[in-house]
Amino acid sequence: MKIAIVATHPIQYHIPWYQELSRRTDLSICVYYGCIPDAQGQGGGFDMAFEWDIPLFEGYQWELLDNYRKKPGIDGFFASILRGFGRVLRQEKPDVVILTGWQAWPLLQGLFWCVLLGIPRIVRGESNGMKPRNWKVGCIHRMLLPWYNGFLAIGKANRLFYKTYGIAEERIFPCPYFVDNRRLAAQAETVQCRREQLRNQWQIPRKAVCFLYMGKLVAKKRIMDQLAALELALADNPNLHLLVAGSGELMDTARGYAADKQLPVTFAGFLNQTEITRAYIAADCLILSSDYDETWGLVVNEAMVHGLPAIVSDRAGCGPDLIEEGRTGFVYPFADIQKLADKILDIARNQNRLREMGAHARDLVLQEYTVEKAVDGVIPGLVWGIARVLNLTK
């Protein structure tokens, strides 16, 4: 089966999926990118220029498409506009096309050409059914979604989104969201012995229970909620610490608040893909305090691979899948600082229980949220999509 995958740009989390699909001898894969951002473009939201320090173009076939933009990017719906993609599809004649969402114009261009050329199309988007939407957005979704033949669901909330808009269960196929478990587990094995050294380096006291903020310091991730909750929790338990791994527009604000309140917080700065393991090993529990715009939250997967439980807001998309209450972590009401502080204290109260929760969390993601399961879910969707198009054209 010949498969074309359309993506806005190389995304580090998707590369293992492309590579695993390419290992299948019954599949021929080519990934078509709308653009390849430079270091400045890649750093959007991080407030700094950088390039990922893992290979993004190895182990699969890919092609950079022509673009009408002189400097195509990823910041904005029309930041990239494909040129000649219809011609590419006519020449290559893929059996099916996988579109990685609809959040940018190149992905809708891909959908348009598939419809025009009668090519089966499957979508793997991230939108979930947890976020309230106004009627205008709802109308757009109701008009758009029927044009896809099949849907790859990354999790429960994503599946709910499709069903909310009338997509039949038979058209939705499981494709669980994952991180590169094998690479991260290997990194963890190498770094684990340095835990005490890393904690000393980041001035984390030996007896402290260390909570971790991982990611961009941007509004949707609510770093200030974590700082305020830490302040409340410290009144009952002084042996707490927060490690902030990331950078972004709220860095100065967060630093200023922590300094003003004299909070035990370490700002580690931006950590690249081969460096993030150091923060996970040094910490004891992840906190994800994001709003509805956090369609999943892959940092929770990463933390769990490293044996950490997680405290997650009830607006983060991964919660229904990854958080088994009291077993792999806790869910708390979004922006409820007191409830977040209570969960912090609950986690910190019993170190043996904390480690047990971390072990359960690790087992969950290593068994259920893997690249292998994501690939296994794709194949039935592709076959069904082709069969549907053939039936519709009879």
Residues 70 and 211 in one domain: no
Residues 161 and 306 in one domain: no
The number of domains in the chain is: 2
Residues 7 and 139 in one domain: yes
Residues 162 and 252 in one domain: no
pLDDT digits (tens, 9 = 90+) for 287-316: 999 999 999 999 999 999 999 999 999 999
What average pLDDT score do residues 347-372 get? 96
Residues 100 and 213 in one domain: no
Residues 298 and 340 in one domain: yes
Residues 28 and 124 in one domain: yes
The per-residue pLDDT of the chain, averaged, comes to 94
State pTM to two decimals. 0.94
- Residue 49 binned pLDDT confidence (cut-offs 50, 70, 90): confident
Rounded distance, CA 239 to CA 207, Å? 7
What average pLDDT score do residues 3-19 get? 96
Backbone dihedral angles phi then psi of residue 329, each to the nearest 5 degrees: 160, -160
Residue 134's domain comprises 2-178+370-392
- Residue 382 binned pLDDT confidence (cut-offs 50, 70, 90): confident
pLDDT digits (tens, 9 = 90+) for 211-244: 999 999 999 999 999 999 999 999 999 999 999 9
Rounded distance, CA 303 to CA 349, Å? 20
The 10 Å CB-count burial string (b at 16+, else e) for 135-173 is eeeeeebeeebeebbbbbbbbbbbbebbbeeebeeebbb
Q: Count CA atoms closer than 13 A to 80's CA, side-chain side.
A: 26
Residues 299 and 318 in one domain: yes
Residues 381 and 342 in one domain: no
CATH of the domain at 358: 3.40.50.2000
Residues 155 and 278 in one domain: no
pLDDT digits (tens, 9 = 90+) for 171-208: 999 999 999 999 999 999 999 999 999 999 999 999 99
pLDDT digits (tens, 9 = 90+) for 359-370: 999 999 999 999
Hey, CA dihedral for 182, 276, 18, 309, is it positive or negative? positive
pLDDT digits (tens, 9 = 90+) for 75-119: 899 999 999 999 999 999 999 999 999 999 999 999 999 999 999
Q: What is the pLDDT of residue 383?
A: 76
What average pLDDT score do residues 61-85 get? 94
Rounded distance, CA 148 to CA 216, Å? 32
Residues 165 and 198 in one domain: no
Residues 344 and 197 in one domain: yes
Rounded distance, CA 391 to CA 368, Å? 33
